[in-house]
Amino acid sequence: MKVMSKENTYLPRLIDTRIKEGIEDFGAVCIQGPKYCGKTWTGLHLAKSEYSLMDPVGNFQNREKAQLSPDFALDGKYPRLIDEWQEVPTIWDAVRNRIDRTGKAETFILTGSATPKDGIPRHSGIGRIEKIRMRPMTLEESKESSGAISLRGLFAGEQPSSHAPISGIDELGSLIVRGGWPGSLKVPASRWSRLPHSYVNDLKESDLFLLDGKKRDKEKVSRLLHSLARNVEQATSSKTLIRDMTADVSRKPLSRAAVDDYLDALKSLFILEEIQPWAPNLRSPLRINKRPKYHFVDPSLPAAILGATSEMLIDDLETFGFLFESLCMRDLLVYSQVMDAAVFYYRDKNGLEVDAVIQASNGSWAALEIKLGHSQADKAAANLLEFRNKMVEAGAKEPVFLGVIEGLGDFAFVREDGVYILPIRALGA
């Protein structure tokens, strides 16, 4: 099949270099992520040929041929893109075997928007296929952050001092409602909410069924999504979700097993991610909350579920704040990914909470609070300093830096107390 044009319409992604390195080191990479986040376009940009298992030509003859013999999908110019590989799970083992036999002379890019439930590959792919997570575009990737303040640079000891593009509160709300979907970047602002709304409807109507053929109650899925959106970026247990979903006594009760099944399905579709609590190895044990935060892969999804527009967010600053945190977490997850760092949150039994803790592969760490406006910076900085003192007293090493990410701030600088002010539209990888 002819590969899509690679003209100057491609906006580079931060994980592009990681993908190229993975092809060289492993022979194949598997780009995993939600639908419409740009996996296929990135794969096409880096590949020399393509085989799409979801091409409808000939009643999906590509998929039928690959089911008969995976070689149909594997033969071509390399690197070879195999799009939506999970439609024929045996392709995974075939790719692994081909790499073994050719000594990486033949290389592959697999893309997938779901984890296959049936026909699980017999081989893990370790050493042959590297799994790389792709998320919707960050503000740096969509050219809406200057990227002047590098997260990697901050960990290397750089201090922030830079102007950021000025954001009005209405513009910030629009960035949340639109999200980071590549297909929405050139759509008129009046139609920005259409893709997220369509995405949510597809989740409820078909995607959770097509995932594994299991029948799931649409009304219950809708209630779960609404509960997750209401509790966005908060540590939430299944028990809390059930209570929230059954607040109306006329509704049928839900079992924990059913809720957990729906959550697993959403994670398999890469719609939900779990942000784990940070638990440093300390001499003095701290009573730390062990529940994960459920994070939607893009803030436009909880906004669509709640029916929020940018105008409505301005009238509900509490919801605006949570959805802004969701946007920042999306970007931090990507910026951390490219420097091999992990993102956590912190909350202990005494109520001390920090929005994001980033830990580098060498164990160094930084703590971040996320606030909509600069008026909240003093309180956020005080909280971060209290957190640092508590961690150090308990045996942790000093953080590399403490920072407040702001939505409406227009200048990055170091406060007198040493806490960094970091406008989200100046932050980058």
**CA dist list (Å): 16 to 39, 173, 297, 338:** 11, 29, 19, 10
Give domain status of residue 190, yes or no: no
DSSP secondary structure code for residue 155 in this structure: H
Same domain membership, residue 178 and residue 34: no
Evaluate whether residue 258 is within a structural domain. Answer: no
Phi, psi of 365 (to 5 degrees): -145, 160
Type of residue numbered 181:
W
Strand residues in 270-364 grouped as ranges (E):
272-275, 293-296, 342-347, 353-359
Asked if residue 156 and residue 22 are part of one domain, the reply reads no
**Number of domains composing the chain:** 2
**Degrees (nearest 5) of the Cα angle 55, 59, 61?**
65
**81 neighbors 49 (Cβ within 8 angstroms):** yes
Q: Are residues 414 and 347 in the same domain?
A: yes
CA dist 72 and 90 (Å) reads 12
Same domain, 171 and 314: yes
Look at residue 232 in the predicted model and tell me its pLDDT. Answer: 83
Please check whether residues 169 and 122 belong to one and the same domain: no
3-class secondary-structure state, position 413 = strand
Judging by beta carbons within 10 Å of its beta carbon (0-12, 13-18, 19+), is residue 305 exposed, middle or buried? buried
In a domain, 254, yes or no: no
Q: In the chain, which stretches have pLDDT less than 70?
A: 1-8, 116-126, 237, 244-253, 282-287
22, 164: one domain: no
Q: Does the CA dihedral 408-371-34-215 come out positive or negative?
A: negative
Q: According to the model, what pLDDT value does residue 201 have?
A: 92
For residues 127 and 153, state if they share a domain: no
Q: Tell me the β-bridge partners of 412.
A: 162
**Tell me: the pLDDT tens digits for 258-299?**
888 889 989 999 999 999 999 887 655 666 777 889 999 999
CATH number, position 55: 3.40.50.300
Picking from 133, 166, 200, the residue at the C-terminal end of a domain is 133
Residues 280, 352, single domain; the answer is yes
Please check whether residue 368 lies inside any domain of the structure: yes
Amino acid at 413: F
First-to-last alpha carbon distance for the chain, in angstroms, is 35
On whether both 120 and 176 belong to a single domain, the answer is no
| Domain range enclosing 154 | 149-185+274-428
What Cα–Cα distance (Å) separates residue 370 from each residue in 70, 181, 345? 47, 22, 12
Residue range 31-80, pLDDT digits in tens: 999 999 999 999 999 999 999 998 888 778 999 999 999 999 999 999 99
Asked whether 78 and 107 are in contact (CB, 8 A), the reply is: yes
To the nearest 10 degrees (0 to 180), the angle between helices 218-230 and 238-245 is 110
Asked, for residue 202, whether it belongs to a domain, the answer is no
- Same domain, yes or no, for 70 and 175? no
- pLDDT score for 304: 96
Say how many C-beta atoms besides its own lie within 10 A of residue 345's C-beta: 23
Instruction: Indicate if 43 and 68 belong to the same structural domain.
Output: yes
Does any domain span residue 240? no
- Is 268 a domain residue? no
Is there a contact between 273 and 122 (Cβ–Cβ < 8 Å)?
Answer: no
Residues 246 and 220 sit within 8 Å (Cβ to Cβ):
no
* In a shared domain, residues 25 and 113: yes
Q: How many helices (H) and strands (E) does the chain have?
A: 16, 16
User: Does residue 381 fall inside a structural domain?
Assistant: yes
